[in-house]
């Protein structure tokens, strides 16, 4: 029997609750299809700061390197908010991305038909939204040097550097074209080429890579316009590719299109071991109260099955189970509306597992 080793990094806040449900779903898949899963939990984020004084202990990183895939929850919280950026829980996640060379972050925003009314946008605008943001994840402002705060005459100066090299742009562009090819074959590259030198290079390299993908329609869009177009006419988009900071911002905006942040999964690919995490954060206001939506984490587990374990049929089964539970009218608080049945995080997980089990019998 094939045996997969999955490292689980629940992190902080609702990260704990939602990864627990995602693990249950993977166990059910394992039983259904006859593969073994070995789950190893490790510390990351605020929990690791409290236990070891660092957001990403060496032991966690080592464990991650030996895994078939990583299932991540969320990190951060008010308890650690006063720490300097270099020591914050978020640093743990950034270090993981960099150390494991996870340069491409896939964030699909697909609006489930029964959740149209959970979106603050008009049905006529948002219905049918199905797009994918590919965010470059290991370069740009997040990692560029020089960085920091320094003293200058008359005050202080804060610095971050947006830097991209040709190979860094090329690899994420290539991956984006490959992904777009498997979707509706339209790729929008988002930049700020009317102002930034980095973006001029970005656009050039993306155009060069596009030569190898004549079957994919490429368009370029300035990031400010893209922010507007996403809510004006989301149906025009299929696959988007953009640098780290733009992708961070645009993917939160795209999350609104899917009804709730609680619905959005993500995959961070590139190196040998990929990482899967819900796009939402730790939601300290609802943490520990069984109120979180586990669907983003569960759909992240589906992405894990698809991209790391090459089990696309099982990924689809998980997605179908989620769809069917929503069709039956079950909703967590974030997507609840009149006439639907309000359930907690655990119950939502249970319902999805039970539905999944029926798909295997
Ligand atoms: C995200 C988050 C992270 C980021 C934070 C937690 C460091 O906002 O994954 O989008 O900025 O990349
Ligand atoms: Mg973000």
Q: Which ligand lies nearest to the CA atom of residue 253 in the structure?
A: 2
Last residue of a domain, one of 193, 228, 257: 257
Q: Is the separation of the CB atoms in 134 and 176 below 8 Å?
A: yes
Ligand 1 site, CB within 6 A: 76, 90, 93-94, 248
Whether residues 94 and 129 fall in one domain: no
Mean pLDDT of 68-91: 94
Mean pLDDT of 47-66: 95
Whether residues 102 and 210 fall in one domain: no
Instruction: Please give the angle made by the CA atoms of 83, 84 and 89, to the nearest 5 degrees.
Output: 60
Mutation test residue for ligand 1: of 46, 73, 87, 248, the one with most atoms within 8 Å of CB = 248
CA of 15 to the centre of ligand 1 (A): 14
Residues with Cβ within 8 Å of residue 54, at least 6 apart in sequence:
48, 92
Q: Is 142 a catalytic residue?
A: yes
Question: Considering only CA atoms, which residue is closest to atom 5 of ligand 1?
Answer: 90
Whether residues 125 and 219 fall in one domain: yes
For the domain that residue 105 is a member of, what is the CATH number? 3.40.718.10
Whether residues 124 and 222 fall in one domain: yes
200-204 own/partner pairs: CB under 8 Å, 24+ apart: 201/164, 201/166, 201/169, 202/164, 202/169, 202/243
Question: Considering only CA atoms, which residue is closest to atom 7 of ligand 1?
Answer: 90
Q: What pLDDT does 1 receive?
A: 82
Asked if the model's pLDDT at residue 85 lies above 90, the reply is no
Task: Look at 25 and 261; give whichever has higher pLDDT.
Answer: 25
**Residue of 68, 191, 248, 334 marked active site:** 248
Q: Is 81 a catalytic residue?
A: no
Question: Considering only CA atoms, which residue is closest to atom 8 of ligand 1?
Answer: 248
Asked if the model's pLDDT at residue 86 lies above 90, the reply is no
**Residue of 117, 212, 224, 285 marked active site:** 224
Q: Which pLDDT tens digit goes with each residue over 301-338?
A: 999 999 999 999 999 999 999 999 999 999 999 999 99
- Count of beta carbons in the 10 Å neighbourhood of residue 307: 18
Whether residues 308 and 243 fall in one domain: no
Q: What pLDDT does 49 receive?
A: 96
Ligand 1 atom closest to 75 (CA)? 6
Mean pLDDT of 209-237: 98
Whether residues 232 and 147 fall in one domain: yes
Mean pLDDT of 208-212: 98
Range of the domain at 30: 1-112+260-361
Count of the separate structural domains present in the chain: 2
Q: What pLDDT does 118 receive?
A: 84
Residue 359: band (very low, low, confident or very high) from pLDDT cuts 50, 70, 90: very high
Q: What pLDDT does 230 receive?
A: 98
Q: Which ligand lies nearest to the CA atom of residue 90 in the structure?
A: 1
Question: Considering only CA atoms, which residue is closest to atom 1 of ligand 1?
Answer: 248
Q: What pLDDT does 361 receive?
A: 86
Mean pLDDT of the chain: 96
Mutation test residue for ligand 1: of 12, 13, 93, the one with most atoms within 8 Å of CB = 93
Asked if the model's pLDDT at residue 259 lies above 90, the reply is no
Whether residues 125 and 143 fall in one domain: yes
Whether residues 98 and 20 fall in one domain: yes
Whether residues 128 and 241 fall in one domain: yes
- SS3 annotation, 125-160: HHCCCEEEEEEECCCHHHCCCCCEEEEECCEEEEEC
Whether residues 164 and 67 fall in one domain: no
Residues paired with 70 in a beta bridge: 7, 275
Ligand 1 atom closest to 90 (CA)? 7
* Gap between the Cα atoms of 317 and 168, Å rounded: 35
Question: Considering only CA atoms, which residue is closest to atom 11 of ligand 1?
Answer: 248
- Count of beta carbons in the 10 Å neighbourhood of residue 213: 18
Q: Is the separation of the CB atoms in 274 and 268 below 8 Å?
A: yes
The candidate with the shortest Cα–Cα distance to 25, out of 340, 342, 332, 305, is 305
Last residue of a domain, one of 257, 274, 293: 257
Whether residues 352 and 296 fall in one domain: yes
Question: Considering only CA atoms, which residue is closest to atom 9 of ligand 1?
Answer: 279
Mean pLDDT of 49-70: 96
Last residue of a domain, one of 257, 286, 320: 257
Mean pLDDT of 176-195: 97
Q: What pLDDT does 155 receive?
A: 97
Asked if the model's pLDDT at residue 260 lies above 90, the reply is no
* Gap between the Cα atoms of 209 and 186, Å rounded: 14
Q: What pLDDT does 247 receive?
A: 97
CA of 114 to the centre of ligand 1 (A): 28
CA of 296 to the centre of ligand 1 (A): 15
Whether residues 124 and 252 fall in one domain: yes
Q: What pLDDT does 119 receive?
A: 86
Mean pLDDT of 191-209: 98
Q: Is 310 a catalytic residue?
A: no
Six token digits for residue 118? 């959970």
**Residue of 68, 192, 238, 276 marked active site:** 192
């Amino acid at each position: 029997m094939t045996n997969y080793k999955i490292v689980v990094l629940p992190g902080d806040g609702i990260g704990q609750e939602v990864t627990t449900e995602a693990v249950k779903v993977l166990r059910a898949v394992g039983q259904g299809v006859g593969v073994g899963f070995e789950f190893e939990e490790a510390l990351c984020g605020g929990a690791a700061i409290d236990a070891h004084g660092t957001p990403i202990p060496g032991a966690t990183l080592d464990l991650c390197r030996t895994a078939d895939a990583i299932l991540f929850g969320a990190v951060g919280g008010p308890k650690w908010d006063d720490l300097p950026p270099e020591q914050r829980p978020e640093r743990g996640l950034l270090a993981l991305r960099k150390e494991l060379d996870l340069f491409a972050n896939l964030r699909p925003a697909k609006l489930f038909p029964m959740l149209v009314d959970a979106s603050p946008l008009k049905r006529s605008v948002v219905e049918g939204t199905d797009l994918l943001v590919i965010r470059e994840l290991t370069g740009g402002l997040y990692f560029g040097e020089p960085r920091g705060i320094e003293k200058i005459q008359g005050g202080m100066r804060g610095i971050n550097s947006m830097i991209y090299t040709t190979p860094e742009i090329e690899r994420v562009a290539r991956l984006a074209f490959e992904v777009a090819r498997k979707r509706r074959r339209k790729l929008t590259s988002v930049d700020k080429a009317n102002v930034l030198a980095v973006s001029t290079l970005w656009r050039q390299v993306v155009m060069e890579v596009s030569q190898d993908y004549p079957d994919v329609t490429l368009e370029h869009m300035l990031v400010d316009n893209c922010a507007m177009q996403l809510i004006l006419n989301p149906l025009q988009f299929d696959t988007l590719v953009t640098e780290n900071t733009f992708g961070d911002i645009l993917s939160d905006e795209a999350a609104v299109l899917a009804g709730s942040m609680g619905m959005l999964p993500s995959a961070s690919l590139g190196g040998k071991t990929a990482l899967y995490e819900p796009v939402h954060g730790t939601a300290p206001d609802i943490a520990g109260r069984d109120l979180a939506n586990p669907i983003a984490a569960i759909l992240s587990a589906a992405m894990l099955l698809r991209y790391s374990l090459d089990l696309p049929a099982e990924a689809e089964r998980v997605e179908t189970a989620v769809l069917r539970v929503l069709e039956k009218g079950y909703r967590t608080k974030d997507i609840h509306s009149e006439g639907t049945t309000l359930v907690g995080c655990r119950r939502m997980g249970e319902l999805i597992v039970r539905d999944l089990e029926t798909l295997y019998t």
